[in-house]
Copies of this chain bind each other. A is one copy, B any other.
Amino acid sequence: MAEEKKKKVSIAVFSGDMDKLLAAFSIATGAAASNMDVSMFFTYWGLRALKKKVKTGQSLFGRMLGFMYGGDINRATPSKMNFGGIGRWMFKKMMKAKNVPSLADLRQTAIDLGVKMYGCQMSMEVMEIPKEKMIDDVAECVGVAFYIEHAQQADVTLFI
C-alpha cells in the first residue's frame, strides 16, 4: 500500500546523445534514490542506450543504420562538439577527472535501484533492432498505449 503511494517519474528517452543520456540517467537514478517509481521508455536513437555491442539490421537500410549508428551505450557521442569522436573522449576524460560516473555505470545503478526500462516496439521495428540485441535488463518492449498509461499516472513526465 505504501508502494501504491510512491511518486512516479516517466521519462521518454528519444535521444541517443551521450550528454542527454547522462541527463536522463542522472534524473532516473536520482529519482529512484529518492524512493520514486521510475520508468524509462526508450525510442528511436535512445534505443542505443539499451543495445548490446552487436551488429543490427537485416535490410540494406537497416544494416546501414546499424553500421552508422551501431555499438552500445559506450559509443554514444555528445550532441555538440563531437568532432568525430574527440568530443566523446574529452568528455569521458573530464568526467573521470571529476569522479562523475560513466554512462554505463549510471545505467547499472539505475538497474540496481529498480528503474524500469522499456523499448518502444515501433521504433525497434523501424530501426531493425530486435529484443535479443538488447541488454537483458530491458523489462519489456511496449507500444505507445503502454507509455501513455504510465505517463498519465506519473507526477513527473519528461521527454529527453
Contact = CB atoms under 8 A, between A and B. Distances in A.
A126 B145 contact: no
Contact of A156 (B19, B100, B154): B154
Given A36-B152, A158-B12, A44 B62 contact: no
B152 A155 contact: yes
Contact of A65 (B22, B36, B68, B81): B81
Given A14-B23, A65-B81, 17 more contacts: A9-B152, A12-B158, A23-B159, A30-B148, A31-B148, A45-B80, A59-B94, A61-B94, A64-B90, A94-B127, A98-B125, A148-B156, A152-B156, A157-B157, A157-B158, A158-B158, A158-B159
Contacts of A148: 27, 30-31, 34, 36, 156
